[in-house]
Amino acid sequence: MKAPFLISLAALLAPPLLASEPVMFCERPLVAQLVAENTWIVEGVKEELSTSNCGHIGNQAFIATSNGVILIDSGSSPHFGEALKTLIAQHTSHPVRWVLNTHHHPDHFFGNTAFDKAQHLTLATTRDLMTRDTDALIDNVERLTGRSLERSSVALPEVIEAGDITLGSYPLTLYAMSGHSGGDLVIMDHTTGVLFMGDMGFYQRAAATAHTPGLQQWQEELHDLRALNATIAVPGHGPSAPSATIIDQTIDYLEWLDQRLSDVASEGLGANHALAVELPDTFSTIALAEYEFTRSVMQLYPRYEARLLWGAPQ
Ligand SMILES: [Zn+2]
C-alpha cells in the first residue's frame, strides 16, 4: 500500500490535464507540431481517403496572432473540424477568427463548419470550383470514408483577392495559382518565413493530378514559388521541410511524369505502355507513388494523345 504523501506528491507533479490529454480522432492522437514561432502544422496521414483514416489525409496549419488564430485548411469533415478546434485550444487561448481554404478539394475545407464564428476566405476561382463540385465531393467522401456528412453544413467561404492582406494586425501575402486544382491559394508569411502551399506542394507523398490544368503550368508556378526563398514550407500532404526541398521534390516528380506521358504519346502507343515502367529510385520513399502514377496516367494520358494528334493544348 502506497504512503499517502507519495500519492499527493504524484498528483502535484502531474501536468495540467487539459494540456496533457491527447485529442483523439479516428482512434489516433491528433498532433500539432511547431514549425515556426506561433505556427503549427497538423499533418494528415499519407494515404488516400478511407474508412481507416476517417478522411484525415490533408494537412492543416494555424498561426496564433495577438488578434486571433488564422487557420489554413480545415480537414475533410465537420467532425474532424471539431477535433481540430480542441487541439488548437491546447496551444493558444485565442479563438480561430479566420479560415483560409487553399483549394476546393474536400480534405481541405469540409471542416469549416466547426469554425462557425470565424470568417472563411478563399480565391474566387476556388469558390467557383467549390460551387460546381461540392455535391459530388460530398458523395465521394461519404463513399470512401463510410461516414455521412451533413450536406447542408458545408458552407462556401467568402472571396478574398490575392496580394498583401492584413488579418487583424497580422500581414500575409496571398498568391493566386492554379497548377494543382484550377484554383490554388498559396500563402506567404514574411514574419516567420513560412510558405503555406496547399496542394501545390506534396512532400514524401505523391502528387494527385486529377484537376491540374497542365503539369507544365504547375511546374512553372512552383518555380515562381521557389523564387520567394521561403525558409520552411507546409505542403498540402506530407511533413513540413525546407521550402526548396519540398518544391524540388514536387517539381522532379511532375517533370518525370510529364516526360513519361509525352514520350509514350509521341511513340503513338497506348496508356498501357505509359504504365509499363519502373518508377525511378528517387521516388521510392514517396508514399502512394505507384497509386498516384496509375491514376495520373488514366486521367492525363488522353490529353497528351490529343495534343499530339490535334495540337490541342495540354
Ligand atoms: Zn489534398
Give the N- to C-terminal CA distance of the chain in Å, as an integer.
76
Query: Measured in angstroms, how far is the CA atom of residue 243 from the centroid of ligand 1?
Result: 18
The amino acid sitting at 258 is D
Cα of 3 vs centre of ligand 1, distance in Å, is 54
Residues 6+ apart with CB under 8 A from 8: none
**55: CA distance to ligand 1 center in Å?**
10
Tell me, in angstroms, the distance from the centre of ligand 1 to residue 102's CA. Answer: 9
d(CA 24, ligand 1 centre) in Å: 21
Whole-number Å distance, alpha carbon 211 to ligand 1 midpoint, is 11
Contact call for residues 304 and 261 (beta carbons, < 8 A): yes
Determine the distance from the C-alpha atom of residue 50 to the mean position of all C-alpha atoms in its chain, rounded to a whole number.
16
Ligand 1 centre distance from Cα of residue 265 (Å): 28
209 C-alpha to ligand 1 centroid (Å): 10
Contact call for residues 41 and 59 (beta carbons, < 8 A)? yes
Instruction: Provide the residues around ligand 1 (an ion) whose CB is within 5 A.
Output: 58, 105, 107, 199, 236
User: Ligand 1 centroid vs 38 CA: distance in angstroms?
Assistant: 24
Residues 177 and 198: their CA atoms lie apart, in Å, by 11
Helix (H) or strand (E) holding 196: strand 194-202
DSSP H helical segments within 54-115, as ranges? 78-89, 106-109
All structural domains of the chain? 17-243 (3.60.15.10)
Cα 204–210–215 angle (5° rounding)? Answer: 75
What is the distance between the alpha carbons of residues 185 and 65, in angstroms, rounded to a whole number? Answer: 20
Give the cell for residue 74.
Answer: 480545415
Cβ(198)–Cβ(230) under 8 Å?
Answer: no
The string of pLDDT tens digits covering residues 238-297 is 999 999 999 999 999 999 999 999 999 999 998 999 999 999 999 989 999 999 999 999
108 C-alpha vs ligand 1 centroid, how far in Å? 6
C-alpha 94 – ligand 1 centre gap (Å): 27
> pLDDT (tens digit, 9 = 90+) per residue, 211-235?
999 999 999 999 999 999 999 999 9
Quickly count helices (H) and strands (E) in the chain.
9, 15
How far is the centre of ligand 1, averaged over its atoms, from the C-alpha of 190 (Å)? Answer: 24
Q: How far is the CA of 49 from the centre of ligand 1 (A)?
A: 10
Torsion sign over Cα 225, 227, 232, 238: positive
Q: Which amino acid is at 171?
A: P
Residues of the chain with pLDDT under 50: 1-17
Rounded distance from Cα 48 to ligand 1 centre (Å): 9
Tell me the backbone φ, ψ of residue 193, rounded to 5 degrees: 80, 20
CA of 105 to the centre of ligand 1 (A): 6
Contact 46, 287 (CB under 8 A): yes
Catalogue the E-assigned strands of 53-118. 60-65, 68-72, 96-100
Q: Report helix angle 243-266 to 289-310, nearest 10.
A: 50
CA of 45 to the centre of ligand 1 (A): 11
Residue 107 Cα to ligand 1 midpoint, Å, equals 6
Phi-psi region of 104 (alpha: psi -120 to 50; beta: other; left: phi over 0): alpha
Query: In the prediction, which pLDDT does 312 show?
Result: 57
